[in-house]
Structure 1
Amino acid sequence: MISIIAVLKAKPGKTQALKTALQGLLLPTRQEPGNVEYQLFQLRDTPDCFYVRESWRGQQGLEAHIALPHFQDFILQMDDLLAEPLRLDYLTPVEP
């Protein structure tokens, strides 16, 4: 299992456009066979910042996601929408 938090910060004036683009990823990504979780969050106190919490059954599922048209379309919009590079934080589970 691969778990990631993606951090995306909108350029000034692009918050709604980024939100709409990210919302467009939700349904098709959730239908991918390798996807376990794909959830979008907007920071309450910093609304130009979004987090995507995602989990994949393995590296192959993540790589398949990146290659699909809906994600490639999003990649083409990133320069216009993001104030800083996309940050991916890979998570390791901590057991009790």
Structure 2
Amino acid sequence: MITLLAVLKAKPGQTDALRKVLQGLLLPTRQEPGNLDYALFQLRDAPDTFYMRESWRDQQALDEHIDQPYFQAFIGEMDSLLAEPLRLDYLTPVAP
């Protein structure tokens, strides 16, 4: 399983547009067979920053997600929406 946090900071004046685009990714991504979790969060103290929590069955499932036409369309819009490059933080579970 692969789990990551995508961190996305909107350009000034683009917060609502970024939120709308990210919300549009939720349903189709959750329907992908290799997706285990796909949840969007907005940072309370910095509302121009969003976190997408993602879990994938394996690397192939993540690669297939990236290749989806709707995700490729989002990649094409990132430069106009994001104040800084997309950050991906890959997580490792910690056992009790």
After TM superposition, is the score higher than 0.5? yes
Counterpart AA for 2:21: A
Counterpart residue number, 2:36: 36
Counterpart residue number, 1:57: 57
TM-score by length of structure 2 reads 0.99
Counterpart residue number, 2:84: 84
Counterpart residue number, 1:47: 47
Distance in 1 (CA, whole Å) between partners of 2:24 and 2:74 is 9
TM-score by length of structure 1 reads 0.99
Distance in 2 (CA, whole Å) between partners of 1:28 and 1:77 is 17
CA deviation after TM superposition for structure 1 residue 59, in Å = 0.1
Unaligned runs of 5+ in 2: none
Percent of aligned positions that are identical: 73
User: CA offsets per residue over residues 45-78 of structure 1, 9 Å max, x none?
Assistant: 1000000000000000000000001100100000
1:4 correspondence with 2:4: yes
Unaligned runs of 5+ in 1: none
